[in-house]
């Protein structure tokens, strides 16, 4: 039998730095747990532009389609800011999401006990927090037409269009209800039905799908109020489902509930294929962090937790995913911290690779 294939796209900035730690973890599962993957690497983002003049080469796109799972670091950076919009690093990532039809983006926000003191919110507000934001990822204002910058009279106008079809709303809603069924059976849908027609349709369709899931307690919230409630008392939520743009904002906000953007993983899933598995891309929520790139300061945990999500959602190794998450929890409980998890007077942080090594040692201790 052939091994499952994993395509790794480290990307730009801290992407390659955090991915190097994930490679160590993947090797550990290969040698110590017999989970062998056929791992290959390719370029995405600015580094792909440097090599090929495009942020995602067609060959790389084809390899992503063929892979059992794709793991991505981060894309973007100031070096590429002046590029034409069509070849910016971020376009490479958006093309991957769109062409692989990864409509359901799972962004869990879990507060590890050891970090509850470090959140910018009070400890009792975040301790024990475990919520899941499901962000629609292939439509909405990110992709709607018309779009562009046009001349209108004697000035320019920038246009983007929020557009959702019923089927696009229905499929992401279903994925959120399915997740809620396996979790706390509570789903909150967020839109702005008070000011946007797409929000009215969103609310109607989510309500219809909800009839197929009578066990799930469904609620609706305007997304602005949702942002407020997420900081007021986040533990009222279990699963949140929302559109592409609101999901982008709300998941960065949720990052601070967990202590750092360097802690947040994500899984972007498509519909199940013939083999029962969804097409899938796993990536940290954070970006290429140009301010700390190349300094060994990046926290690799978000990317390592993204690999744990791959073990769970693409490879049916939920127990091994839990082993990896427990190892991370152990390391944090032991006080090991990268700089993003410390205040200025909290002592000496560990480097990116030292954090990876500490997690490997905790994995060894788990055997």
Instruction: Respond yes or no: is residue 334 known to be catalytic.
Output: no
> Smaller CB distance to ligand NAD: residue 14 or 129?
14
* Using rule CB under 6 A, residue 243 touches ligand IPM: no
Angle between helices 301-313 and 318-333 (to 10 degrees): 160
- Rounded least distance, CB 255 to ligand NAD, Å: 8
* Using rule CB under 6 A, residue 223 touches ligand NAD: no
Residues binding ligand IPM: what is the number (CB under 6 A)? 7
> Smaller CB distance to ligand IPM: residue 286 or 337?
286
Report 74-93 residues binding ligand IPM (CB under 6 A).
76, 90, 93
Residue pair 56/95 in contact (Cβ under 8 Å)? The answer is yes
> Smaller CB distance to ligand NAD: residue 45 or 199?
45
Question: Pick from 253, 248, 243: which is nearest to 190 by CA?
Answer: 243
Choose the catalytic residue: 192, 238, 243, 279: 192
Question: Pick from 172, 231, 235, 166: which is nearest to 201 by CA?
Answer: 166
Choose the catalytic residue: 142, 164, 282, 313: 142
The secondary structure of residue 54, as a DSSP letter, is S
Among 168, 191, 238, 283, binds ligand NAD (CB under 6 A): 283
Pick out the residues of the known binding site.
77-90, 97, 107, 135, 224, 248, 252, 287-299
Q: In the 3-class helix/strand/coil scheme, how is 110-123 assigned residue by residue?
A: ECCHHHCCCCCCCH
Among 21, 136, 238, 248, binds Mn ion (CB under 5 A): 248
Instruction: Respond yes or no: is residue 238 known to be catalytic.
Output: no
Backbone φ/ψ region at 68: left (φ over 0), alpha (ψ -120 to 50), beta: alpha
Give residue 269's Cα distance to chain centre. Answer: 11
* Using rule CB under 6 A, residue 16 touches ligand NAD: no
- Rounded least distance, CB 362 to ligand NAD, Å: 19
Element (DSSP H or E) covering residue 85: none
- Rounded least distance, CB 141 to ligand NAD, Å: 16
Instruction: Respond yes or no: is residue 346 known to be catalytic.
Output: no
> Smaller CB distance to ligand IPM: residue 193 or 285?
285
Residue pair 172/105 in contact (Cβ under 8 Å)? The answer is no
> Smaller CB distance to ligand NAD: residue 239 or 292?
292
Question: Pick from 89, 101, 100: which is nearest to 56 by CA?
Answer: 89
Binding site partner of 94, from ligand NAD, ligand IPM, Mn ion, none, Cβ cut-off 5-8 A by kind: ligand IPM
φ/ψ (deg, to 5) at 279? -60, 145
Binding site partner of 258, from Mn ion, ligand IPM, ligand NAD, none, Cβ cut-off 5-8 A by kind: none
Pick out the residues of the known binding site for NAD(+).
77-90, 287-299
> Smaller CB distance to ligand IPM: residue 75 or 218?
75
Among 68, 243, 248, 340, binds ligand IPM (CB under 6 A): 248
Choose the catalytic residue: 224, 334, 346, 364: 224
* Using rule CB under 6 A, residue 305 touches ligand NAD: no
Binding site partner of 288, from ligand NAD, Mn ion, ligand IPM, none, Cβ cut-off 5-8 A by kind: ligand NAD
* Using rule CB under 6 A, residue 289 touches ligand IPM: no
| Tokens matching residue 99 | 């062409």
The residues, any chain, with a CB within 8 Å of residue 164's CB and separated by 6 or more, are 136, 139, 140, 198, 201, 202, 243
> CB atoms < 10 A from the CB of 304, how many?
25
Q: What size, in residues, is the chain?
A: 367
The residues, any chain, with a CB within 8 Å of residue 28's CB and separated by 6 or more, are 360, 363
Between the CA of residue 286 and those of 117, 168, 252, what are the distances in Å?
Answer: 21, 26, 8
- Rounded least distance, CB 193 to ligand IPM, Å: 23
Residue pair 136/353 in contact (Cβ under 8 Å)? The answer is no
* Using rule CB under 5 A, residue 17 touches Mn ion: no
Q: Which stretches of the chain bind ligand IPM, using CB under 6 A? A: 76, 90, 93-94, 248, 285, 287
Tell me which residues are annotated as active site.
Answer: 142, 192, 224, 248, 252
């Amino acid at each position: 039998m052939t091994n499952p294939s994993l395509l790794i796209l480290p990307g730009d900035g801290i992407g390659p730095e955090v991915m190097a730690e994930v490679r160590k973890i993947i090797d550990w599962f290969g040698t110590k747990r017999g989970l062998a993957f056929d791992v290959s690497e390719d370029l995405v983002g600015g580094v792909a532009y440097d090599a090929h003049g495009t942020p995602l080469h067609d060959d790389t796109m084809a390899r992503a389609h063929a892979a059992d799972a794709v793991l991505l670091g981060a894309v973007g950076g100031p070096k590429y800011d002046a590029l034409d919009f069509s070849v910016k690093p971020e376009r490479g990532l958006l093309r991957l999401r769109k062409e692989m039809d990864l409509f359901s983006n799972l962004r869990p926000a879990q507060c590890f006990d050891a970090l509850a003191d470090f959140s910018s919110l009070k400890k009792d507000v975040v301790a024990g927090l475990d919520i899941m934001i499901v962000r629609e990822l292939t439509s909405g204002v990110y992709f709607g037409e018309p779009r562009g910058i046009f001349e209108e009279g004697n000035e320019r106008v920038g246009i983007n269009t929020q557009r959702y079809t019923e089927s696009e709303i229905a499929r992401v809603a279903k994925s959120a209800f399915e997740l809620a069924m396996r979790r706390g059976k509570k789903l909150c849908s967020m839109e702005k039905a008070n000011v946007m027609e797409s929000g009215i349709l969103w609310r109607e369709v989510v309500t219809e799908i909800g009839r197929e899931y009578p066990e799930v307690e469904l609620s609706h919230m305007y997304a602005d109020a949702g942002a407020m409630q997420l900081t007021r008392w986040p533990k009222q939520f279990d699963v949140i489902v929302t559109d592409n743009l609101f999901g982008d904002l709300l998941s960065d906000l949720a990052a601070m509930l967990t202590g750092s953007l360097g802690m947040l993983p994500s899984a972007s899933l498509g519909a199940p294929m013939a083999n029962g598995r969804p097409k899938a891309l796993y990536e940290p929520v954070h970006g290429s962090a140009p301010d700390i790139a190349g300094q060994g300061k990046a926290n690799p945990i978000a990317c390592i937790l993204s690999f744990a999500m791959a073990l769970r959602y693409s490879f049916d190794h939920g127990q091994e995913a839990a082993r990896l998450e427990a190892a991370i929890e152990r390391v944090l409980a032991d006080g090991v911290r990268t700089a993003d998890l410390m205040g200025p007077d909290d002592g000496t942080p560990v480097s990116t690779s030292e954090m990876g090594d500490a997690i490997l040692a905790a994995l060894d201790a788990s055997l």
